[in-house]
Amino acid sequence: MDVLKRLGEIGLVPVIKIDDVEKAVPLAKALSDGGLPVAEVTFRTAEAEEAIRRISTAMPDMLVGAGTVLTIEQVKTAVGAGAKFIVSPGFNPKVVGYCIENNIPITPGCSNASDIEMAIEMGLGVVKFFPAEQAGGLPMLKALAAPYNKMKFIPTGGIDEKNLTTYLAFDKVVCCGGSFMVKEDLIKAGEWAKITELTQNAVSLMLGFEIAHIGINCNNEEEANGLTFALANIFGMPVKEGKGGNFTGSVFELLKAPYLGAKGHIAIKTNSIARGMAHLEAKGVKFNPDGIKSDEKGNLVAAYLAEEFGGFAIHLLQKK
């Protein structure tokens, strides 16, 4: 498994502190049920090793990592317990070097240009931007990232519902780390349903699914033009004519020839098609290979689900 690629697909890594190992598996299940099958278990408590071991054993599909790792011994302990990746708050060359030598994915904390250049020197392509908000937030990250066009970042520290999507919209951000869906009081109280609810809300916010338009299949250009202006007249919407179809406002697309979907299609906007596809595929949703479209730069712009719903195809559409 390409761990960093998978983290990018998931998009949000819950950072959790376990004081009671009996809560480790129920917490991991609550996160997974909410749509985040990943956790960074911090080594800030003595229970971290056993928590990682229990989660890895009970939930082998859960991507479990170790955070706040400060020494090589902690790396060995974490990996021995089942950790699939290592996260450190700062850049320790000995820890980073050990992980690289042993093919252990690591994202060390970096908050300045010197840290980033050491990471590049050691061959890393992804680092943790920490503490993100306290270090200057997204403006600081963009300023730091500018000279290093191949480096990617995982902002962590102060990430919450208010700034999550803003960070993820930056093309040099792989994913974000946060604990706003796993608050300490909820863990202590064992409120797993509430954690699942908060996690679902976070995933929904991150993906940003919302209806973009309804496409209607027409038999020919004449029929499409007639329906276009009829709908425009009814709803007082502007018309934009195109080669393959016309738009009435941003609500209706009248296709000049039938395309995917017996009756037409429903376009669902998302903050990230790639991430949206990954989350839907995790639920068993399949995509139509012929309906996956990219622009000239290779960026995804549309992806059709394989299944039709009530005669309508559904496709994801990248938000601008």
Q: Parallel, antiparallel, or unpaired for β 152-155 and 38-42?
A: unpaired
Indicate if the alpha-carbon torsion angle 169, 173, 175, 180 is positive or negative: negative
Please say if 128 is a catalytic residue: yes
Active site residue 40: yes
Site of tokens 């951000």: 173
DSSP string, 3-52: HHHHHHHH-EEEEE--S-GGGHHHHHHHHHHTT--EEEEETTSTTHHHHH
Catalytic residue among 9, 23, 29, 40: 40
Residue among 23, 29, 84, 128 flagged as catalytic: 128
What separation in angstroms does the CA of 51 have from each of 7, 10, 31, 158, 191? 20, 21, 15, 24, 18
Both tokens assigned to 41: 């278990």
Distance CA 205, CA 224 (A): 35
Q: Distance (Å, rounded) from C-alpha 10 to C-alpha 269? A: 18
- Amino acid identity for residue 82 in this structure: G
Instruction: Check the CA dihedral 191-192-193-197 and report its sign.
Output: positive
- Catalytic amino acids? 40, 128
